[in-house]
Amino acid sequence: MFFFMTSFNLILPELNNYISILDGADKKGLIITLFTISAAISRPFSGKLADTIGRKKVIYLGIICSFFVMLIYPFSYSVLFFLILRFLHGFSAGFAPTGATALLTDLIPEKSRGHAMGIWGTFISLGIGVGQTLGSWIYLSFGFTLLFLIGALFSLIAFILVFWIKETLVNQQEFNFKLLKISWKDVFEPNVLPAAFVMLLSAMCSGMIFVLTPDLSSYLGISNKGFFFGIYVIATILIRLLTSSLSDRIGREKTLLVGCFILVISMLLVGTSNSIVSYIFAAIIFGIATGITSPTMFAWTADLSHEDRRGVGAGTMFIALEFGIMFGALLTLVSYDSTKSTIFITFLIGAIMATIACIYLIVIIAKKKKVNTLN
């Protein structure tokens, strides 16, 4: 998953620049939006297939998609063709992480899910941070073509590494096209909706971060568009090392409440950053917030998922993630006009979304406490 995440995050910091060169600067928000729409569309299919034909096969499908789209990116000479590729690329994120999360849920014992998901999340964050930090450097040194080819190389490495992973689905079925017939029960696992709702709200903040931090870095005179993510990932890894088992001790909901409260603060700090020092501090706080919330939400999802529907449960969580990122990216189309003065209002909306997540978690904790008191 580290190599897969590095692959598609490698190109993200420079895609705003790429679409601007193609004369599509006003469509920056669609770079993330189209990617997340196709990822969300594919989740019900990948979740069902992970529970039927096997976890590994679903992972392979996602990685193969990523590899070939990366190879085609250098030939996108128009805004339309580039945006079509972004849409197709999203299918890779819809398949590989869903299969991988279901496989991981099969492996880890219930009593240490928070700790295991912390380790899992650390490598995902490393992929995001390493990819986005290296991406701008590769582009500035060698240009877009090599950037895309190196992204394809990382996908190829991920593909090779899957050979060493043992399949965990016991009763596998042979693929047939009837498995692609999706009903409502294949789209959502109702048991995991509380965790998915918190993911939706927090992911909106991430969507804003993905779209706006490359431009914000430029406004502050930072040439590496992935600078924010380099700082963020260091903070994320450090906090996960310190708090990886926190949710196993105090509970998922309380841990998420702490993380979402810090997320509120981070949104306000990013939106008001007017110097490199304040920008670094904001990235650290955002890293702490996501370092606490992300693995906890996946551990909570694993707790809530039915044993026979772990693929669908993981798919539900990722659908929430994709829709959150998509809505966050879409909001930038409304509130951001490629000027620094409009950045704050966007991140203020993000802070409001994180605040709603806090309120929701407080209600859940209160209800749970009331039930425990009655019992």
- The pLDDT value recorded for residue 199 is 93
pLDDT confidence of 236, banded at 50, 70, 90? Answer: confident
- C-alpha to C-alpha distance for 283 and 228, rounded to whole angstroms: 6
The model's pTM is: 0.76
- How high does pLDDT run on average in the chain? 88
Average pLDDT for residues 239-262, to the nearest whole number? Answer: 87
Kindly state the tokens that stand for 161.
Answer: 């590494």
Measured CA to CA, the distance from residue 191 to residue 199 in angstroms comes to 14
Max mean pLDDT among 235-239, 304-308, 350-354, 368-372 falls in 350-354
Residues 285-302: pLDDT tens digits?
Answer: 999 998 899 888 888 888
State the sign of the Cα–Cα–Cα–Cα dihedral 163, 169, 175, 179: negative
Q: Domain ranges in the chain?
A: 2-165+186-374
**Cα–Cα dist 350/263, whole Å:** 9
Q: Does 187 score more than 80 pLDDT?
A: no
Q: Name the region of 374 (left: φ>0; alpha: ψ -120 to 50; beta: rest).
A: alpha
pLDDT at 375: 66
Is 92's pLDDT higher than 90?
A: yes
What pLDDT shows up at residue 359? 97
Listed range (33-47, 152-166, 170-184) with the worst mean pLDDT: 170-184
Neighbours of 135 (CB within 10 A): 26
Residue type, 104: L
Question: Is the model's pLDDT at 25 over the cut of 80?
Answer: yes
Residue 18 CA: distances (Å) to CA of 36, 84, 375: 19, 14, 59
All residues at 6 or more sequence positions from 204 whose CB lies less than 8 Å from its CB, including other chains: 324, 325, 327, 328, 331, 350, 353
Confidence of residue 273 (pLDDT cuts 50, 70, 90): very high
Report how far residue 295's alpha carbon sits from residue 281's, in angstroms, rounded to the nearest whole number. 22
pLDDT score for 146: 96
Query: Residue 108 gets which letter from DSSP?
Result: S
- Of residues 340 and 331, which shows the higher confidence score? 331
Check residue 169 and give its pLDDT: 87
Measured over the CA atoms of residue 290, residue 296, residue 300 and residue 305, the dihedral's sign is positive
Confidence of residue 357 (pLDDT cuts 50, 70, 90): very high
Could you tell me which of 42, 87, 92, 36 has the C-alpha nearest to residue 62? 92
Percentage of the residues of the chain whose pLDDT score is greater than 90:
41
Given a contact cutoff of 8 angstroms between Cβ atoms, the answer to whether 244 and 295 are in contact is: yes
Q: Which of these, 35, 45, 363, lies nearest to 197 by C-alpha position?
A: 363
* Mean pLDDT, residues 21-31: 86
Return the minimum-mean-pLDDT range out of 89-103, 127-141, 211-225, 298-312: 298-312
Tell me the average pLDDT across 257-265: 96
Say whether pLDDT at 29 is over 80.
no
What is the homologous superfamily of the domain 2-165+186-374 according to CATH?
MFS general substrate transporter like domains (1.20.1250.20)
